[in-house]
Amino acid sequence: MTPFRTSLCAALVSAWLVGCGSSVKLDDAAPVVDAKANPAGSNAANANAGRGVNSGQSSVTTVDASKNDAMAGIGRVVYFDYDSYALKDEFRPLIESYARALSAAKTKKMVIEGHTDERGGREYNLALGQRRAEAVAKSLMLLGASDSQLEAVSFGKERPANDGHDEAAWAKNRRAELKDR
Amino acid sequence: MSNPPETQLCPSRRRWLAGALAAGALHGVARAQFRVEISGVGATQLPVGVTKFREEDRSGQSISGIVRADLERSGVFRIVDSNGDFDETSRPAYPEWRGRGADALVAGSAARLSDGRFDVRYKLWDVVRGNELSGGAVAVVSADLRLAAHRVSDAVYEKLTGDKGVFSTRIAYVTRVANRYTLRIADADGEGGQVALNSTQPIISPAWSPDGRALAYVSFESGKAVVWAQDVLTGERRAIANFRGSNSAPAWSPDGSTLAVTLSRDGISQVYLMDPKGGNLRRITQSSAIDTEPAFAPDGKTIYFVSDRGGSPQIYRVAAGGGNPERITFNGSYNISPAVSPDGRTIAYVNRNGGEFKVMTLDLAGGAVRTVSDTVEDESPSFAPNGKLIIYATRSQGRDVLMTTTLDGRIRAKLLTTGEDVREPIWGPFGR
């Protein structure tokens, strides 16, 4: 599974949607919270685990407000190949989603943070991360976002997402993160 | 310049006891005490004895130990069995020291004065010829005892090699413990570090001003890379490059009037010049690729930098006034982090080869390339102000560490084995 699909699935599960669809519409209706239905693996089920049906006055039902975020279910991270700042096709849906959201709400602003893996010099990695962030920003602008809505910055190799020292960790660290500001 | 050591001190009668004593246990003890791990053997090391300075135990600093470690790290000297109970007023038994394999001998004292300061005195003898070469005295407060020891090392080094010593210069580096980043200023041996800046966010790329009074650096404290300049003495600081995007890679011109920086304000990382306070900004590289890591040549007229305009990061140079850059590295697909030697003849840089990152030197006139490290995750080379040593960052036993090496790569020393991650070293100028 690609990194994009992994994060997509994780986001979907947390939003209580069952399965891992290949496409996510921004206007999908959020599922209704229903403690009685208790879909397997849901937060509500876990919260009431072991209490049975007569859980009494102490029972608490967890509600996840993150599903109200229009961008929930859309990843916020774009991954890159080693030494590369080329955007991979698999992230095109993600970029398009954010570009639509930005062009629909011109007051919305985002910062794109570029990152690299740990190999190589700090300054060159800072520039490489910057290049990755700029690549995402340029694509967003080509798809309708405005220059004034975006700032591309870089942390180079200073803020790894994964502290490991192998290819699996490095692949998670070569990334650009899209953040609201 | 005085004579080189080979002519000044007779080399012919050296080493008959060297193997038995110099490489023995006493030598190892001296190293361990000061946490300087030396690797490699020089071809023309001068054997020197440095006896314990009288009263140094009461001063709180092992002055003789500091001097021994300095001289060893230089790569020019080898310390012989240095047991002996005397000081700068003594008359050494030359035959005995010759028997230990020494060509030269240093002794001294660190007597406490009535005002609380310490009177650090030393003398240097030519053991082979049996005469005195030099001596000196300085009264210092206890906080400056390490400096006084380094000055003894400098005096000995200059007398015996003809080159100026760098032991009393300073270095800056960044330590990291969990999410605490600290910019420190320390003696050239990495010890005696003082904190210039604490942050919970990364600090990279410190750069000394040529007068040694200020450091420029990149701090991420505001959520992105911003270039700051800080007065070392007063702590006064200001953001000097804080444009849209990333601001990084500060480098001072040799006269201190100009800073080169990398800015992404125009959509891609390019090299700009500015006044030290941030004014008079002008762009000097014009590419659609990454241009970064500027470094001035000592004449101030040329700037070396890294660019991937040819498809992979390579080192180029351009006139400081702008113009057509000229590529100068051709071996391999990744050559970064240029540092220019004080004489302008050599650059040190990092080359990637098959996943290994190594400090290399390039002779600019002849084109000869030399590997000077035996580690594989090297970063950030920087020349000592006398051009005889390079300091760089690497990883050893799972830690970020600092190393010094001679330019021929024969003598390397690991600094500061304190268990902290240490990185981003930069060697300061002469004078303090």
Contact criterion met (CB below 8 Å) for B66 and B74: no
Which residue, B254, B273, B250, is CA-closest to B210? B254
Over its length of 181 residues, how does chain A's per-residue pLDDT go in tens digits? 344 444 433 433 333 333 333 333 333 344 444 344 344 434 433 444 444 455 567 788 888 766 556 566 678 999 999 999 999 999 999 999 999 999 999 999 999 999 999 999 999 999 999 999 999 999 999 999 999 999 999 999 999 999 999 999 999 999 999 999 8
Distance CA A98, CA A146 (A): 12
pTM for the predicted model, two decimal places: 0.82
Q: B49 Cβ partners below 8 Å, 6+ apart?
A: B79, B80, B81, B82, B84, B97, B100, B102, B104, B105, B106, B127
Q: Which of residues 384-423 of B touch A (CB under 8 A)?
A: 423
**Domain boundaries B5-161, corresponding CATH code:** 3.40.50.10070
CB A124 to CB B262 under 8 A?
A: no
Predicted confidence (pLDDT) at residue B426 exceeds the cutoff of 90: yes
CB B380 to CB A121 under 8 A?
A: yes
The reply to whether A112 and A152 lie within a common domain is: yes
Contact criterion met (CB below 8 Å) for B190 and B201: no
**Count of domains forming chain A:** 2
CB B204 to CB A122 under 8 A?
A: yes
Out of A119, A121, A153, closest to residue B225 by CB? A153
The reply to whether A83 and A120 lie within a common domain is: yes
Out of B269, B379, B424, closest to residue A127 by CB? B269
The reply to whether A46 and A110 lie within a common domain is: no
**B7: three-class secondary structure by DSSP:** helix
State the average pLDDT for chain B. 90
Structure tokens at B329: 């590295």
Distance CA B202, CA B175 (A): 10
The reply to whether A82 and A158 lie within a common domain is: yes
CB B268 to CB A151 under 8 A?
A: no
Rg (CA), chain A: 19
Distance CA B429, CA B246 (A): 28
Domain ranges of chain B: 5-161, 170-427
Q: CA-nearest residue of chain B to A153?
A: B245
Q: CA-nearest residue of chain B to A163?
A: B178
Residue B83's Cβ-count burial label (10 Å; 0-12, 13-18, 19+) is exposed
Give the domain-ending residue among A15, A41, A68: A68
B37-39 and A110-115 strand pairing: unpaired
The reply to whether A61 and A83 lie within a common domain is: no
The reply to whether A55 and A106 lie within a common domain is: no
Distance CA B273, CA B299 (A): 16
The answer to whether residue A161 neighbours chain B at the CB level (below 8 Å) is no
Out of A130, A134, A158, closest to residue B202 by CB? A158
CB B264 to CB A154 under 8 A?
A: yes
Count CA atoms closer than 13 A to B318's CA, side-chain side: 25
Q: Which of residues 54-73 of A touch B (CB under 8 A)?
A: none
Spatial strand order in the sheet of B335-340: B335-340, B346-353, B356-363, B369-371
The reply to whether A125 and A168 lie within a common domain is: yes
Tell me the pLDDT tens digit for each residue of B180-208. Answer: 999 999 999 988 889 999 999 999 999 99
Q: How many residues does chain A have?
A: 181
pLDDT at position B45: 87
The CATH superfamily of B170-427 is TolB, C-terminal domain (2.120.10.30)
Distance CA B253, CA B295 (A): 8
CB B267 to CB A134 under 8 A?
A: yes
The reply to whether A87 and A165 lie within a common domain is: yes
**B115: three-class secondary structure by DSSP:** coil
- A43 Cα to chain B: minimum distance (Å): 32
**A138: three-class secondary structure by DSSP:** helix
- B310 Cα to chain A: minimum distance (Å): 14
Distance CA A68, CA A37 (A): 20
Q: Write out chain A residues lying below 8 Å of B292, CB-based.
A: 123-124, 126-127
Instruction: Say how many CB pairs under 8 Å bridge A and B.
Output: 87
CB B268 to CB A134 under 8 A?
A: yes
pLDDT at position B401: 94
Give the domain-ending residue among A45, A68, A91: A68
Interhelix angle for B63-73 vs B25-34, to 10°?
Answer: 100
pLDDT at position B218: 98
The reply to whether A171 and A83 lie within a common domain is: yes
Interhelix angle for A92-104 vs A122-142, to 10°?
Answer: 60
Distance CA B275, CA B286 (A): 20
The reply to whether A161 and A97 lie within a common domain is: yes
**B219: three-class secondary structure by DSSP:** strand
Distance CA B50, CA A86 (A): 59
Q: Which residues constitute the domain of residue A52?
A: 3-68
CB A130 to CB B264 under 8 A?
A: yes
